[in-house]
Structure 1
Amino acid sequence: MGDVLGKVLVVDDDEVIRQLIAVNLNLEGFEVVTATDGQDCLERVLDVMPDVITLDVMMPFLDGWTTAQRLRAEEATSHIKVVLITARAQDDDKVRGRGIGVDAYLTKPFDPAELIQVVRDLAAGSQG
């Protein structure tokens, strides 16, 4: 095994998508931890301290927008790279994401290769 490329916290309430993302990133050499929703993400993020968080937008309890805002609001987590993954690709969503400080935006259904590239670029940037 070579060096781990980085640690990714994958947050999605859909187990199939969560596993799809986790497996793809794992195969690529990332250490992956999963969370089932925004609340779960916020409870685990300080223990995990990931380089990148992939965040589904539509989740029960705490959606991706709110989760991203809370991550950005806390000094301990404000530096973590965030990728929003959503079925809604409207421009106003992207503007909202940029306003929060989201680092990247992927639309479902996404190409796993594209996801890996985005996470790889962000993880490399967070470690440099």
Structure 2
Amino acid sequence: MSGWTGVKAGRVLVVDDDEVIRRLIAVNLRLEGFEVTTAVDGEDALGMVHEVRPDLVTLDVVMPRLDGIRTAARLRADPRTAGLKIVMISACAQSSDVARAREAGVDAYLTKPFDPDQLTAVVRGLAIVPH
């Protein structure tokens, strides 16, 4: 990020019930300069989002308690979080899954296994905010 003057990476809330995936996403984003907080499912994320105040949320689709699609829809329905950028990262790769995510208001959809460079490029493109 040394060549990126006048911008900051921003805050990301990473939501995935798989600890290994959660850590992998978080490490890659931290290496790009993002401030990262993690949550284990949609309920956890909704409980944290107002305190963390992220610029972007990554969501898995399949999670216990509250899945990623319903979490995205609830974030979009709340005026305080309606403008959040949302990136879905999921093993669900069928066109119907992507369509459901788009209907819920997701900004980008990546499939697992994901390319870390693609992940950071998508998040960077959506989450960088001017100083």
The TM-score range, normalised by the shorter chain, is over 0.9
1:64 matched residue in structure 2:
68
Provide structure 1 residue ranges, at least 5 long, that are not aligned to the other structure: none
TM-score between the two structures when normalised by the length of structure 1: 0.94
Alignment RMSD (CA, Å): 1.5
Question: Which of 52, 57, 70 is the aligned partner of 2:56?
Answer: 52
| Count of aligned pairs | 126
Which ranges of 4 or more aligned residues in structure 1 deviate by more than 3 Å?
1-4
TM-score between the two structures when normalised by the length of structure 2: 0.92
Residues 69-108 of structure 1 mapped to structure 2, 5 A cutoff: 69-108=73-112
Q: Contact between 1:39 and 1:62, CA under 8 Å: does it hold in 2?
A: yes
Provide structure 2 residue ranges, at least 5 long, that are not aligned to the other structure: none
**How far did 1:101 drift?**
1.1
Identity %: 62
The farther-off stretch of 2-11 and 113-122 is 2-11
2:42 matched residue in structure 1:
38
Aligned-partner Cα distance in 2 for 1:57–1:93: 9
Aligned-partner Cα distance in 1 for 2:92–2:17: 16
Aligned-partner Cα distance in 2 for 1:112–1:5: 16
> Larger helix proportion, structure 1 or 2?
1
